Amino acid sequence: GAEDEAFGVWIDVPKGASPGHVPTALALTIDTSGSMQGDKIEHAREAARRMVDEMHDGDVLSIVTFASGSRLRVAPTVIDDRTRRHALAVIDELSADGGTAMFEGLKVAESQLWGTPDTHLVRRMVVISDGIATEGPSSPDELARVAEVGLQRGIQVTAVGVGLDYDESTLNALAIRTSGRLYHVEHSEQLPGIVAQEVGLLEATAATDVEVELVAAPGVEIIGTDSAQTRWSGSNLVVPVGTMFEGQQRELLVRARVSGATEGT
């Protein structure tokens, strides 16, 4: 008889698989609402400075902030000595005030990555926020759909939740829908260390636009996976995994139905 099964698929990237630095396009997306006042905005600035310092000449950087609205602080710019200094000066001037228009901030930040040249295969939006969206569309699903659109162009989200009161559901949805990552920073002084970890992963990029195709054996019907982004190729299921790094392991939970296969087949 037919019965449903769940099984795991693990994808491992061996150490030493990275070819070295891959040209990167980065959109820093920083919450500057009133709840970020004090130490939080100072550590967010420090984290942003560190990320800019770690970027290579030739990488592309944009900076977007959101409070009661969104603001493009640095349009997509190729990093060199002069543009790096300008970006750092912009970061130094960031202050915190107003509401949290996260939806608008995400849309503006993502739009900066749409025109990324094909030479820059790593496309990352880093969202640093401590609060719940208070202006504009605010449900986790609405916010995640904005990020999900970017996956078509290889854009993935790294979400950093600051403090104990951050909106875990929203930031988690941003990461899941784009095969990205979520970090929780209980104390804002941990932010620079998180950034260093993220930069280290970007430096260890082994492959971009990774997809896994699941092929069913006779008598097996694939039903789906826990991934939000999938497509069918005939009876095969294709799961986008995005960018992967050396030493990384990714897991998929796959659901399938075994329909009356005889013993030994």
How is residue 27 annotated by DSSP? Answer: E
pLDDT single digits (tens) 125-169:
999 888 778 888 888 888 888 887 887 788 888 888 887 777 788
Q: Is the pLDDT of residue 16 over 80?
A: yes
pLDDT at 262 over 80: no
Determine the average pLDDT of the residues in 14-23: 86
210 close to 160: Cβ distance less than 8 angstroms:
no
Q: In the numeric block, which tokens belong to residue 101? A: 């228009």
Contact 98, 33 (CB under 8 A): yes
Give the predicted TM-score (pTM) of the model: 0.81
Among residues 76, 74, 72, 83, the alpha carbon closest in space to that of 60 is found at: 76
pLDDT of 51 higher than 60: yes
Whether the CB-CB separation of 33 and 99 falls below 8 Å is answered with: yes
pLDDT at 222: 92
The residues, ordered by sequence, that sit 6+ positions from 193 with a Cβ below 8 Å of its Cβ are none
pLDDT for residue 236: 93
User: What is the pLDDT of the chain when averaged over all its residues?
Assistant: 87
Predicted confidence (pLDDT) per residue in 167-209, tens digit: 788 888 888 777 788 888 777 678 777 877 888 888 888 888 8
Task: Decide: helix, strand or coil at residue 156.
Answer: strand
Axis-axis angle for helices 39-54, 81-92 (nearest 10): 170
